[in-house]
Amino acid sequence: MLLPEFYDVASDALILMAGGESHSYEIAGLNASGQAIFVDVVNLPIVVDGEIIGGYGIARDISERKKAEDRMRLLERGIEASPNGVVMLDASVANYPMVYVNPAFTEMSGYQPAEAIGKGFLVLFGKGTAPEALRLIQSALAQQRELDITILSYRKNGSTFWKKLTITPVYDGHGDCTHYIAAQQDVTRQLKSDELLDYQARHDSVTGLQNRQLFETHLNQAFARARGKPSDMVLLYVDLDDFKSLNESLGRRAGDLLLAVVADRLRKLLANDDELTRLAADEFVVMRPALQTETEVKILASRMLTRLAEAYDIEGQRLSISASIGIASDDGSVQQPKELLDNAALAAREAKLQGGNTFCWNHGAASTTGAEQVIMRRELMEAIEDHQFVVHYQPLLDAKTGRLRSAEALVRWNHPDRGLLLPGAFISLAEQTGQIVAIGRWVLHQACMDMAQRWRQTGQAVSIAVNISPLQFRRPEFIEDVLAVLEASGLPPELLELEVTEGVLLSGIDKAILMLKSLRDLGVQVAIDDFGTGFSSLSYLRQLPITKVKLDRSFIIDVTTDRGSAAIVQGVITMAHHLGLLVVAEGIETVEQKNYLTASDCDLLQGFLYSRPVPLGQFALGLEY
C-alpha cells in the first residue's frame, strides 16, 4: 500500500511522461505485512511510432539503504558534535593523510579542514614529542592494530598540549584496512591537576618544602647509590625550641607564618645540592649529599642558629625562637638510611638537653640508645600505671642556726628489675615524651599528702618544695591542679613551695609572670631552681613574683677553691638580697663549703653534708641536723 503523497508524485510523473520524459523518485509505503518501506521508482514513457501511448514503472525496495544512510547521517552528526577531536586517515597511503576532521579537532589543533585534509597525520607532532611515543604510533599504523597513548602534540601556532590518542583501524567488507579513526582528547588540564595533586602529596602546604615522604624516597635512593659503602652524606636535623607553646599561645595562623619564615631563612643558607625538608610540625632536616669537611658543616649549623634566633615580625608581633640542631654522618656503621635520620634526631635531643640554641654531632657510632628509649618509654608508662614511683625528702636548713626550715621532694623510680633509679636515669626521657606531666602531678599530690599528714601529727610546720617541669607549668589546668591538691591534702598554701627552672620563661615572660602571680595569690611560694645556668636570669629576675633562688650545685662544688665561682655566688647572694629574695645553696658536701656560704650570708643550705634524700619515715626521725 502506498501512502497518499504517492499519488501527488505519480501525477507529476504522468505529466512528465506525457511530454516524453522519464522520472524517478523515492516514496514511502507499507508492504503486505504492514511494515514501512522505502521504494525507489523510475517511470518511463511508452513510445510507438513517435507517439506516447502509455508508460510503465520500475520499483525497487531501498529500505535497507535508507536505514544505512540514516545511520551514517546520525553518526556524522555525532562526530561533528563530539567534544573530542576525530580524524579519519587514509590507510592506503604511506604517510596516512587526513581525509576528514571534525570541528573539535579544528578547535583543538587550530587547523581548518582545508589545511588538515591531505596532510600526513604525523605533522601534528614535533621535536618535543617523545620519540618512543612516535615509534609506538608508527608501529600501530603499520601493523593495523589499536593503540591508546598519551602524547605531546602541537597546534598550528606551535604551542603544545597533551592529548590522549586512540587509533582504531577500519576494515571494509573484504577484511582490508582502508582507514583509521584517530580520536583525541585534550588532557593538559587533567595532567596539570594530577601533577598538582602529586606535588601536594609530596610537599608541605605551609612552607612549600618537600615533606617526609619525598625526603625518605631521596634518602633511600642516596643509600642505594652508595651500594653498602660508607656514605658521604650528612643530615642536619633542625628542631625549633618550644614551638608548641608559642603556637598554642599565638594561634595556628601565626605559627604557620612563623614556620614559613623559618623555612625561607634556612633555604637561603643552603647550597644548590642541599635538600631541605619539613619533617613534622616544628622539625626540619637538611640533607647534604657530600660531606666536604666537618668544619664546613659546623659553620653551616652555626649560621642556621644565628639566623633563626633573629627576631621575627609576624602580623605585627615581634617574636623570637631558637633551635636545636642534630648532625649525623656515617662512619660505616649505618646499615639502613633510617638509622642516619634517627642518629640526627638523637643528636638534636642532646642539643635540647644542653639548653637549646646549639648543635650536637652524632658520627654514627653503633648505639642502642634508640631501642633503649623505646623500652624505657613503655616502662615509664607501666610505672605510672602501677605506682612504681616513690618520693624521698631532703632537708633545707637555716645557714646560721642549722634548724630545719623546709624539705625538698625528690622522685625515685622503684624499677621492678633495676632497683631504685634516680631522676637522671629517666627524667630527660619523660620530658621528651610528655610523661613528665603525669609524673609531676603525682609527685605534687604525694608530697602534699605526706607533709600535711606530718604537720597534723607533729604540729611542726615545715614547708615542702616540689620541682615542676616547664611542660607541667605551661598546662592550662596547672593552677587548678595545685588548688585540687591543696584541697585534697589540707596542706596550708604557705607550706607549699614550687621550684621551677628558667625553662618556664620560654613560653613567654608575660605568660609566665601571670601564672606565677596566680600562684602567689593562692599563697603558694615559688623558687627559681638551678639559678645561674640559663641566659635570661638577670634580665627577668626583678620582674618575677618569686621568693627564693637556688644556686646551681655547679657553682658550689669549687666555691672555696675557684675565684670565679666564688665571685658568682657572692654576686648572686648580694643581688638577691637587694631584691628581697632568699638564697638557697644546694649540693653542700663539705664543712668548708658550709662555712664559706654561711659567711657569705647565704640563707638556706642543702646537701649530703646534712642528709641524703630519704623516705618520709626516715626524714621524720631526724628532725635535728
Pairing between β-strand 36-48 and β-strand 98-101 as defined by DSSP bridges: unpaired
Alpha carbons 145 and 168: distance in angstroms, whole number:
7
> Which pLDDT belongs to residue 606?
93
- For residues 287 and 270, give the distance between their C-alpha atoms in angstroms, rounded to a whole number: 10
Question: Higher-confidence residue: 19 or 127?
Answer: 127
Most confident segment among 51-55, 227-231, 248-252, 540-544: 248-252
- The pLDDT of residue 1 is above 60: no
* Residue 195: all three cell numbers together: 601533577
Quick one: pLDDT at residue 192?
Answer: 72
Q: What is the pLDDT of residue 227?
A: 56
* Greater model confidence, 418 or 69: 418
Residue with the larger pLDDT of the pair 314 and 22 = 314
355-385 confidence digits (pLDDT tens): 778 888 876 544 445 556 667 778 888 998 8
- Specify the pLDDT at position 367: 45
Q: Is the pLDDT of residue 266 over 70?
A: yes
Confidence of residue 553 (pLDDT cuts 50, 70, 90): confident
**Between 307 and 542, the higher pLDDT residue:** 307
Mean pLDDT of 262-280: 89
List strand residue ranges (DSSP E) for 84-156, in order. Answer: 85-90, 98-101, 147-154
> Where are the strands (E) in 264-333, listed by range?
275-280, 283-288, 312-314, 317-319, 323-329
Between residues 549 and 24, the one the model is more confident about: 549
pLDDT at 476: 80
Q: Please report which confidence band the pLDDT of residue 244 belongs to, taking 50, 70 and 90 as the band edges.
A: confident
pLDDT in tens, 64-93: 777 766 666 666 675 776 788 888 888 888
Contact 605, 587 (CB under 8 A): no
Predicted local confidence at residue 161, as pLDDT: 85
Single out the residue of 453, 507, 519 nearest to residue 481, CA to CA. 519
Q: What backbone phi and psi angles, to 5 degrees, belong to 320?
A: -140, 145
Determine what percent of the chain is predicted with pLDDT higher than 90.
Answer: 23
Q: What is the DSSP letter of 231?
A: P
Exposure on the CB side of residue 349, measured as CA atoms within 13 A: 15
Q: Which residue has the higher pLDDT, 530 or 488?
A: 488
pLDDT of amino acid 492: 93
Are 150 and 164 a contacting pair, CB within 8 Å?
yes
d(CA 138, CA 95): 10
Tell which wins on pLDDT, 393 or 280.
393
Q: What does the mean pLDDT of the chain come to? A: 82
Q: What share of the chain is helix, strand, coil (3-state, %, to 5)?
A: 45, 25, 30
Q: Give the integer Cα–Cα distance in Å for 149 and 144.
A: 15
* Dihedral (CA of 91, 97, 102, 107) sign: positive
Around Cβ 67, how many Cβ atoms within 10 Å?
11
**Which of 131-145, 538-552, 568-582 comes out lowest in average pLDDT?**
538-552
pLDDT of res. 372: 62
pLDDT: which is higher, 523 or 272 = 523
pLDDT exceeds cutoff 90 at 430? no
- pLDDT at position 393 over 80: yes
The reported pLDDT for the residue numbered 216 is: 86
Say if residues 334 and 340 touch (Cβ distance below 8 Å): yes
Report whether pLDDT(593) > 50. Answer: yes
Tell me, what amino acid is at 551?
L
CA 561 and chain centroid, separation: 53
Q: How far is CA 2 from CA 16, 29, 30, 36, 185, in A?
A: 20, 4, 6, 10, 48
Mean pLDDT of 45-55: 74
Helix residue spans in 227-359 (DSSP H)? 243-250, 252-267, 294-309, 337-353
Cα(167)–Cα(86) distance, integer angstroms: 10
Half-sphere exposure of 556 (CA within 13 A, CB side): 29
Reported as a single tens digit per residue, the pLDDT across 170-215 is: 888 788 898 898 888 888 877 776 665 565 667 787 888 888 888 8
Global confidence as pTM: 0.47
Cα separation, 531 vs 554, in Å, equals: 10
Q: Which three cell numbers stand for residue 369?
A: 640508645
Residues 69/88, Cβ–Cβ less than 8 Å: no
Cα–Cα separations (whole angstroms), residue 284 to 72, 151, 279, 440, 522: 65, 38, 5, 30, 42
Q: Which pLDDT belongs to residue 273?
A: 82
Confidence of residue 129 (pLDDT cuts 50, 70, 90): confident
Burial grade of 262 (CB within 10 A; 0-12, 13-18, 19 or more): buried
State residue 623's pLDDT score: 46
Confidence of residue 248 (pLDDT cuts 50, 70, 90): confident
Average pLDDT over residues 100-108: 89
